Amino acid sequence: MRVVLGSASPARRRVLVDAGVNPVVRVSDVDEDRVAATVPAESGPHAVVTALAEAKARVVADRLTADEPDVAADCIVIGCDSMLFHDGVLTGKPHTAAAATAQWHRVRGRSAELLTGHSVLRMSGGGVVGAESASTTTTVRFADIDDATVDAYVATGEPLEVAGAFTLDGRGGWFIDGIDGDHSAVIGIGLSVVRTLTTRLGVPVADLWASAGPDVRA
């Protein structure tokens, strides 16, 4: 059985590879802002990250059905999305240096919650036969770094395209004093929650270890 990761994130792929799974990568290119805007405000921040993960997984599944029937015949599709929740505000990727700098000025010396939505689809015979979703919360404690350090980190470009403008497994790891929760979820895909979701779909984790993905395609 193949595992299809609906994400361009090399960090998410690396988590799976290190855990014994070599995923096929298919990027969803979902309009995240559009999907987030469809979630009612009263639903809360977890509903947003879960809806984004579900949208990504569904887009990838539809493309597999149309274009890659050999993969769609028997696979697991995983979609994920992470956002930082701080002072009642949900933020994703900053994209610009100015936004990343402002984000760090808000969170340094404080804690925030990293929310990660997960969607797992079971595909068989070319279509989706089962779906499970869940989100996780991990508390991240940010170091109280000075302006010069913030500027140096932002100048590396690393925080511009990652949720909350930080990484745990890269240069940003120097500036995280600790976390309370799932380490892998902070990187982008929580192994514990994915295990739970695949088990609900009747697929034990051991079946995923034998998966092989021969290529990475945008």
Encode 103-140 in three state secondary structure.
HHHHHCCCEEEEEEEEEEEEEECCEEEEEEEEEEEEEE
Catalytic choice (74, 81, 144, 180): 81
DSSP 161: G
Structure tokens at 86: 């701080």
- Based on the residue annotation, tell me whether 146 is a catalytic residue of this protein: no
Compute the distance between CA of residue 28 and CA of residue 21 in angstroms, rounded to an integer: 20
Compute the distance between CA of residue 133 and CA of residue 20 in angstroms, rounded to an integer: 22
Q: Fill in the amino acid letter for 66.
A: A
Catalytic residues: 81
